[in-house]
Structure 1
């Protein structure tokens, strides 16, 4: 069970496509989670997904992640997931200074280990690992699961995704620190607790420090950055806004970054009230921008009402200077 790419499967790389340094060094700044376009009939638009990948690669980011919640991974068949992962890895293979992060969310440890090894062999630069959460496994079971995957793919770098609101998982800084000591290839933690800042700060204060990314659509991005986060992993339909916020924050214009984030916050704070809501909103934005051919979400899904659609139009008008039309 190997994902087919244009190149032969390769052994676990430490240095990313560019061959310079550790691939985890490329997971900095904005690292978007790719969406999956469907046709109006609900079929996967493979060609459209290729356009999504190409668009995101052109926004100046140095890494992307697939598949995540924003990708509706839980609505994809194994064949669809494998095909789309192949599309991503073919487009990023040999791309210097860029890292492809492939996610592993399997609940069963055996399947998670198998998938992680498979995507590493296919060319993934990093693994994004979501701890098991179905039927509320114990913390010990979660640690054993994470440890097994880390050991299976070493030395390939791993991002541990901590999303307690979506999964009910409960991990603290001391637990994560223990995992890092036992498995040096655990390089980053994607913190999606609400708010994330306290855990990000606790991880940064460890000896040695544990590096964090902020998720959750960037709702707490400036605070996370001030507390030590090295980047953020939002959705991908308006990547340019996040890239500009990050550029301002990290180039000495903290006030400018804060101001742009304040403009964005009323939209993303509403959309993030429900995961299916922000998926539907981001797909509508991508559709209106001309990036994808349909805003379809596989059911069960959030159906945007008239006011939510109107607010998306307001959003597109407000940020028109940062969001060019992509239909050409």
Structure 2
């Protein structure tokens, strides 16, 4: 592993931690320059951590060489900075491959690893636990987030199992909770013998409840990061009414877009094109094709939130 710049990850992996999108050209070829721009623009919003590759990054459509290239580009921009942490996700199904990818991310300078448990063909609970333990042990002491996304994976984890895992592996530091509803699990994780802080995913649909129950941050997509940053800042200064009001305004859009992961990916890319971050909203097939009414919904979103995100008025 590389010797990283000392970073206070408890402080950095907190608040808004966007998951980066991956731009492609209209013909489906990777756009590395566009990805570098995305990293720059997301960091400019003032966030202190970000994650790649997640579902929002279309990780399941990237070739191994592309994933390696983009991970390297991200870490070039973060490894020597004390004010930002890069969380590199390891979604590989095979334990052997996942261990190798995690070690490679550590070698390149990742500040933390995100583990998506294996889920193809319904591995047993014991097999999932063994997979997580193998990677936690391999990268120790590098901090790790375990991503619990049952709607996308069908994996079943609970607070006792995660606490047991954390007791054996102190480098398990956070759980990304994407269950529905997430609140009870967040509270149970926070109440354990070694409290496990939670990051709320799923576009923050249940963000106010998650924060009331002890979540320390949110991991949405990246194309309108500023709205989540504003909400977080309001909450942190005790303006719960203002934070909930902003969330309530966002909710009709988020609840529609989160009907499908592929749908919100397509939406986020369309918004990023409108902001001038990327040149093409292309999503690799199979994906979601926005229709006329869905594009009009994006028009309404951009008009409504342009005062908070001026680039949306382009």
TM-score scaled by length of structure 2: 0.98
Task: Give CA-to-partner distance per residue, 1:138-182, whole Å, 9 cap, x none.
Answer: 000000000000000000000000000000000000000000000
Q: 1:108 to 1:327 in 2, by over 3 A?
A: farther
Cα RMSD of the aligned pairs, angstroms, is 1.3
Supply the distance in 1 between the matched residues of 2:7 and 2:253 (Cα, whole angstroms). 38
Partner of 2:15: 29
Partner of 1:94: 80
Q: Secondary structure at the match of 1:184?
A: coil
Distance in 1 separating the partners of 2:276 and 2:312: 5
The equivalent position to 1:46 in structure 2, one of 32, 55, 62, is: 32
> Following TM superposition, by how much is the alpha carbon of 1:325 offset from its aligned partner in structure 2, in angstroms?
1.9
Task: Verify the 8 A CA contact 2:303 2:313 in the aligned structure 1.
Answer: no
CA deviations on 1:115-144 (whole Å, 9 max, x unpaired) are 100110110000000000000000000000
Contact kept, 8 Å, 2:167 with 2:194, in 1: the verdict is no
TM-score, normalising length from structure 1? 0.94
Matching residue of 1:10: 2
> Does the 8 A contact of 2:61 with 2:284 survive in 1?
yes
Deviations 1:61-90 (A, max 9, x none): 000000000000000000110000111000
Q: Is the 8 A contact 1:163 1:169 kept in 2?
A: yes
SS of the residue 1:64 aligns to: strand
Q: How does 1:233-252 map to 2 (within 5 A)?
A: 233-252=219-238
1:223 matched to 2:209? The reply is yes
CA deviation vs aligned residue, 1:14-61 (integer Å, no higher than 9, x gap)? xxx4x243x243110000000000001111110000000000111010
Does structure 1 residue 270 correspond to structure 2 residue 256?
A: yes
Instruction: Specify the SS of the correspondent of 1:325.
Output: helix
Q: Does 1:143 align with 2:135?
A: no
**Is it true that 1:299 corresponds to 2:280 in the alignment?**
no
**Large movers: runs of 4+ above 4 Å:** none
Is the contact made by 1:290 and 1:326 (CA closer than 8 Å) also made in structure 2? Answer: no
Residues 180-225 of structure 1, C-alpha deviations (whole Å, 9 max, x = no match):
0000000000000011111001111112211100000010111100
Secondary structure of 1:301's aligned partner: coil
Give the aligned partner of residue 241 of structure 2.
Answer: 255
| Separation in 1, partners of 2:83, 2:166 | 25
Task: Give, in angstroms, the shift of residue 290 of structure 1.
Answer: 1.1
SS for the counterpart of 2:287 is: coil
